[in-house]
Amino acid sequence: MNPYGLIDKYYGANPTTRRLLESHSRRVADKAREIAKKVSHLAPDLAFIEEAALLHDIGIIFTDAPALGCRGDHPYVCHGILGRSLLEEEGLMRHALVCERHVGVGISGEDIRRQRLPLPERDMLPLSIEEQIISYADKFYSKNGTGAEEEKTIANILENLAPYGADKVQRFEKWAAMFEGR
């Protein structure tokens, strides 16, 4: 499986967004591999983590996010389900779940109902160790369109998660304890 081949297939006509996606995804993949090695006793699948981390945001191209060079029809919050759909069509079912479940630190069906998000009403929470590692690693990097993607601190991430609810903060803190020994 060649993640870069898939990225080229969908982003070849949009080199600016492709570079942004690849840069962000490469950082997330590197961080995820680093984390996975720290928890080798949990037997994470390193090859899968590499592939899925490179593809976790592949759905952004279908969203309306001009700062990222994306001129699609859907709100950005939909990039996870759009990526899931795309990767399912490619026959990558396990990778597809990472796309759907990585957004934020996961979105519950209750979140979707309460916030009236334009998503199917179901839990989209990271379940497998690989999904959790990629979701955790993703929070350290933003796609800002400037190419300057510095790694965030845990304190900064927690501050950014706070408006979304205590459950999001607690989920990230649990991961920090598991993956960083904090």
**pLDDT-derived band of residue 116, with 50, 70 and 90 as boundaries?**
very high
Distance CA 131, CA 28 (A): 12
The pLDDT of 127-136, averaged and rounded, is 98
Structural domains present in the chain: 3-180 (1.10.3210)
Choose among 24, 18, 17: nearest CA to 151.
24
Q: Residue 2 pLDDT > 60, yes or no?
A: yes
Q: Residue 150 pLDDT > 90, yes or no?
A: no
Mean pLDDT of the chain: 95
In this prediction, residue 4 carries a pLDDT of: 96
102 within 8 A of 80, measured Cβ to Cβ:
yes
**pLDDT-derived band of residue 176, with 50, 70 and 90 as boundaries?**
very high
Burial code of 155-175, b = ≥16 C-beta within 10 A, e = fewer? eebbebbeeebeebbebbeeb
